[in-house]
Chains A and B, each alone.
Chain A
């Protein structure tokens, strides 16, 4: 059987050339794989959901109740065998994907793996995270229950507050002022076709570039086998590890999904004449919190173009993304990066990464400003102070814990490193 195939599709050559690829082993390298597993799970569960979903807000009568068709079809999905759990898995896998992608990015950041020659993959990675969040947002809108309609309407409001292009852009993306009869079909097409397609292409590119550039080597590899690629072959060893991890991932997500049912739309009900008290998903809370700190009086206009408080609230998130894009180019060393740097060797960079996390945490806390009774002035102190504090504390701890020991270690001369790298 194998021989039959080998004579036709050159299995052995393929195996020797591609499937023997060495995969370095370190537990932090699994974060990217978990992101990939989430994507696969999302596509598989998404197939089931998409063939049962009706993307329309046409009013239909069901059991004497007038309901939007999209809402009714999600109720139908919930009534199918395992339907509710599959919908719930879809929801949780999306959350895990965004969380894992973010942690993956932090791992890259604190180990210096964004440096030359991996700048392209760093940028592709940020795009992937952005598109994932975009996909999560469009997916959230589809059931068209009271919560999702409100959240999407706020999204429309924020998108249309962008100066000049905002209203046109929001009109195209949401099919007019949300909700119109065009909105759900359009968001559905973006969610189930275009974004998965874009994500798929970007993921292939991301993995292919990693494959061509070879994965960064963990620190211990330099001591064990300097100058050589250390790792387990993709097939069968690494593939087995991945299969086990994937099964474990599906198990955990299924338990999460069964215990915490996602968006119980039966409880929320279809959109009505009142707005429920809605908070965005956790990955939007930092933007939500930041928007709450901008007073309504902050607006100005330049040559007739209005810049309102919502736009000003978006400036900082946009700056964070731009900084992310240019970050790898701030490193000017010409040497090709091969071995991961220890976070403890770079107290300020690690500190800055913790500062970024601190910024997200503080802005998320401010999202609960109203419930916690935090004043506007205190909010600003928290949002500016926490990142600085996180950075200083992290750098301080690293200096205290590792400083003297690191200094005792002789730093190998650069020439030797280049030789090994070559």
Chain B
């Protein structure tokens, strides 16, 4: 231990003496110093760039990219509707009682028979009303009095699965947002920021058919 201390102490004083000597730098020495500085600068620059790009690429992959499969594709025009609870049953207007609690449905591609139940965002609510009771801007999207809306609450993405029979409103069980299905699923009460997205319907071969995809973005905070 003691020996070591003496050695380092000795080396330190020697180095200090050299630097204190301050012999006037020759031009060559100064050039070497500059070159060293530039080399170090370039080296640090390259290291930071490579390291930064690596870190960025890793952090960006932390949030997985959404994958789309036939089951998770959004409803498209021409799709049929099937009940979420019984996916072999294609919905016809007569399956639905007038002004009753809504049913949950998924879209089904009629060609491939794939039911698009791979994501909650494809879940829709259908209810049937007297066509004359629908508001003017709801009517064009309804078929035989049947209206369809996304089942995903625009507040915090719960499923709007309750029916407020007194007001005839769709009711979200999580934070009690309420939507009026006769009037474009506009927010009637509670914390939801916007109306439920509309799924326009038409009738083809007597079956409920998707006329166009969801008119607004499905989900919360979007």
Which residues in chain A, 272-301, are within 8 Å of chain B measured between CB atoms?
A: 272-278, 291-292, 294-296, 299
A158 within 8 A of B: yes
Question: Which interface class (under 10, 10 to 19, 20 to 34, 35 or more) fits A?
Answer: 35 or more
What's the Cα separation between A308 and B221 when bound, in Å? 8
With A154-B174, A158-B156, A274-B161 as given contacts, are A172 and B85 in contact (CB-CB < 8 Å)? no
Among A156, A171, A309, the residue within 8 A (CB) of B63 is A171
What's the Cα separation between A166 and B220 when bound, in Å? 12
Write the chain B residue with the least CB distance to A276.
Answer: B173
A153 touches B158 (CB 8 A): yes
Which residues in chain A, 329-370, are within 8 Å of chain B measured between CB atoms?
A: 370
B104 touches A273 (CB 8 A): yes
With A296-B190, A296-B192 as given contacts, are A172 and B63 in contact (CB-CB < 8 Å)? yes
Write the chain A residue with the least CB distance to B59.
Answer: A172
What's the Cα separation between A182 and B158 when bound, in Å? 20
What's the Cα separation between A310 and B191 when bound, in Å? 9
A177 within 8 A of B: yes
A14 within 8 A of B: no
B35 within 8 A of A: no
What's the Cα separation between A166 and B85 when bound, in Å? 34
Number of A-B contacts (CB under 8 A): 85
What's the Cα separation between A236 and B57 when bound, in Å? 55
A176 within 8 A of B: yes
B66 within 8 A of A: yes
Which residues in chain A, 170-192, are within 8 Å of chain B measured between CB atoms?
A: 171-172, 175-177, 179-180, 182
A274 touches B174 (CB 8 A): no
Known: A158-B156, A182-B64, A273-B161; 18 extra A-B contacts, CB below 8 A, are A150-B174, A157-B157, A160-B220, A171-B63, A171-B64, A172-B62, A180-B64, A273-B123, A274-B159, A275-B158, A275-B160, A275-B172, A278-B174, A296-B155, A308-B221, A309-B191, A309-B193, A370-B176
- Chain A contacts to B: CB under 8 angstroms: 150, 153-154, 156-158, 160-161, 166-168, 171-172, 175-177, 179-180, 182, 272-278, 291-292, 294-296, 299, 308-310, 370
- Chain B contacts to A: CB under 8 angstroms: 62-64, 66, 84-85, 104, 120, 123, 151, 155-162, 172-177, 187, 190-193, 219-221
Query: Can you give 5 A-B contacts (C-beta < 8 A)?
Result: A153-B156, A154-B158, A157-B220, A168-B63, A273-B123
